Structures are given as C-alpha cells and as structure tokens.
Structure 1
C-alpha cells in the first residue's frame, strides 16, 4: 500500500510539472514566432539588398506561427488538466483554505466527528462527479467528435475528457486517505490550510 501511495504521489506531481512545462513552452514558442517574423519582413521592405535573405526567413517564421493555430487549444487542455490535478494535490498537501473558525471551538473528539461527516460528504460529491464524468465520457466516445483546433494531433473530445475521471479518482483517493487517518485518530480535521495562522507566522518571522 505504501508503494502504491508513493506511485500515485509521484504520478500526480509529474503530471502537474509536465502540464506546466508544456503550457509554458508552447506559449513561449508561439509568442516568439509571432514576434520574430516582423523584423525580418521590415528589413526586407526597408533594405532591398537584404530582401532575398530576410524575406524568405520572415515568411518561413510567419508560416510556422500560422501553423500553430493549435497552441491556444492545447494550452487550454493542459490548463484544465492542471485544475483537476491541482485540486487533488491541494487536498494531499493541505493547500486548500479551510473555514474552520467555529469548528476549532469544539473539543478534539467533536472536531474529529464533524470532520468525518464532512469527509464523507466530500467523498459523496466526488463520487457523484466521478460517476457522471464516466457517463459523459462514454457518450463522447460513442459520438467520436474531434477536438476543436487539435485535428493535427488526431485528438477527440473523449481523449481530453479522460482528465475528468482521472482527476476525480485522485481526489477521491486523497479523501479516503484523510478518512482513514480520521478514524485512526491521527488527525482531527480535514487538514486544510489555515490562512490566518500562516499569516501570523509570516508576520512573526518578519519581525524577527
């Protein structure tokens, strides 16, 4: 079980890093190409002697930029993936901000009981979305609709939609881990981030 958990953690982190990297690289290349062909065309127009060299280079770069019509679409795909993967990562690392001002006034056992109920509600919600996403994915698979602007990669909508069940499965697993720790008494809440406490710690560090 420990090795499986480690595998999921690494897979989650690698997927997030890859999504960020691909988004950044694709956007960077697209912006560079769109900015780079203009100086060459300007030189070709301004200086006739440079036209035989500068113009073909400028047209070649402009053609590359025009061929990258898929760049915005692919960036949106990985940004969407980042949302679901980030949600799972946030649950695991206590990245989500918790509103638990009232809960903290109860005893540890009461907080743990309330957290168990909250965790079960979260699991129910995630389970419903996971079930619905599988149904939607089945419909898209049967429809076999191509993804807009991504025909270059032969991607279908259902290919992109795979991130839904994958992302929610990760989130479901994270809440299961929290629920197990709650039942074992290893924690008394959902492990959410305390923004006020973090701000106070930063303030104290700044004073020092």
Structure 2
C-alpha cells in the first residue's frame, strides 16, 4: 500500500512538471511565432510581394485564432499543486534543507529527542494547515467562485492545500515512526544519479577531459 502511494506521488509530481513544461513551451512558441509572421507580413508589404503577404496574413490570423490566454493561469495552478505534493515527497526522501549542526553534536539520546520533536512538530503544523485548508475548501465549494481564465471552480484549485498538507503530515509521521524504530532518517545524495553506479560515475570523471591529469 505504501509502495503504491509512493509511486502515485512520484507519477503525479512528474506529470504536473511535464504538463506545465509542455504548456509553457507551446505558449512561448505561439507568441514568438506570431511576432515572426508579423515581421514577414511587413517585409512582404515593403517589397510588394503579394503572394507572400497573402500567405503570411492568412497564417497570422489562423495562428492568432488559437486562444492560449488560459496557459499562464493553468501553469500557475499546476506549479502550486506540484509544490504541495513535492513538499511531501521531500519529507519522505529527506531533501528538505535543515540546519542540524548543533543537534548532531548532542549526545545520541538528546539528539533523538530533538529530532522526534522536530518531526512531530512538522506533522502537527501540516495537520493544522490541512484542516484549515479543508475547512476553507468546504466553504469555497458553497460559492460560485471560478478562476478568471479557465473558469474552473476555485475550490478545485485550492484543494491542493488540504491534500498536499495532509500527505505531508502523513510523511512526517511515517519518518518519525521509522526513526523511532531504527534511529535512521531518510537521506538524499545530491551526487547520485539513478541508473549510474559509483564505479561507472568515477570512471566517467577520470575519462573526462575536464579532469586534471597527473604529470
């Protein structure tokens, strides 16, 4: 069950990133294409090239009929959802930044107490945010508020707050329980690349032309 939740979390985050990236690319390409075709229209008129002027004008108005006003709003919504679920993923994998210099210098027993206190405090905070967010979404659903461009009910947009916060709360509790049992915290190696073992990575560094050679 937990493995399925982990996989679903990863797929959701990756999908949100992919969709947002694709929409941004299409919107930017659409905008610059309109500018390029407008320049072609001006060039054709200045040089009295009738066929090019007619073709470029037709392409311009055809491309202009494609309405992408909603793209920016959708991307903002997607990134908000990605951030909420990405925060929960960060708790599970240990990628959140933390200042633990003083805690690591404490005796093991006291260090464990402080770490558990921090994890449980995170669970309490995100649980409160999730509950407040759920209450807000419930009342928002009773209204007719919609987003300006997509005209999506706003309660759906704000649903990311309780869902993401409750998932983050669950991850804090999950990490706290695992730490209580094993004394280990999730750790993320920023130098690790999935699918590449350490020996392969070391060989690649040695063969790299940027690696200084011994004389």
Mark yes or no: TM-score above 0.5. yes
Any unmatched runs of 5+ in structure 1?
199-204
Equivalence map 1:131-146=2 (5 Å): 131-146=131-146
> Is the contact made by 2:91 and 2:172 (CA closer than 8 Å) also made in structure 1?
yes
Cα distance in structure 1, aligned partners of 2:56 and 2:189: 58
Cα distance in structure 2, aligned partners of 1:135 and 1:80: 19
Cα distance in structure 2, aligned partners of 1:182 and 1:38: 57
Are the structure 2 counterparts of residues 34 and 194 from structure 1 closer, same or farther at C-alpha, using a change threshold of 3 Å?
Answer: closer
1:8 Cα shift?
A: 1.2
Greater alpha carbon shift after TM alignment, 37-46 vs 13-22: 37-46
Asked if 1:50 corresponds to 2:46, the answer is no
Q: TM-score, normalised on structure 2?
A: 0.80
Cα distance in structure 2, aligned partners of 1:39 and 1:50: 13
> Is the contact made by 1:44 and 1:54 (CA closer than 8 Å) also made in structure 2?
yes
> Structure 2 residue aligned with 1:164, among 161, 165, 169?
161
> Is the contact made by 2:40 and 2:53 (CA closer than 8 Å) also made in structure 1?
yes
Count of aligned pairs: 190
Cα distance in structure 2, aligned partners of 1:161 and 1:112: 36
Q: Per residue, is there more helix in 1 or in 2? A: 1
Are the structure 2 counterparts of residues 107 and 122 from structure 1 closer, same or farther at C-alpha, using a change threshold of 3 Å?
Answer: same
CA-to-partner distance for each residue in 1:175-195, whole Å, 9 max, x for gaps? 1111211221x125x546699
Are the structure 2 counterparts of residues 84 and 207 from structure 1 closer, same or farther at C-alpha, using a change threshold of 3 Å?
Answer: farther
- SS of equivalent residue, structure 1 residue 92: helix
Are the structure 2 counterparts of residues 191 and 100 from structure 1 closer, same or farther at C-alpha, using a change threshold of 3 Å?
Answer: farther
> Structure 1 residue aligned with 2:21, among 24, 27, 44?
24
Cα distance in structure 2, aligned partners of 1:60 and 1:135: 46
> Is the contact made by 2:124 and 2:169 (CA closer than 8 Å) also made in structure 1?
no
Q: TM-score, normalised on structure 1?
A: 0.83
Cα distance in structure 2, aligned partners of 1:99 and 1:163: 28
Cα distance in structure 2, aligned partners of 1:38 and 1:174: 48
Residue 98 (structure 1) aligns with: 98
Cα distance in structure 1, aligned partners of 2:99 and 2:160: 28
Equivalence map 1:67-86=2 (5 Å): 67-86=67-86
1:79 Cα shift?
A: 0.9
> Is the contact made by 2:116 and 2:176 (CA closer than 8 Å) also made in structure 1?
yes
Cα distance in structure 2, aligned partners of 1:207 and 1:191: 34
Any unmatched runs of 5+ in structure 2?
193-204, 206-210
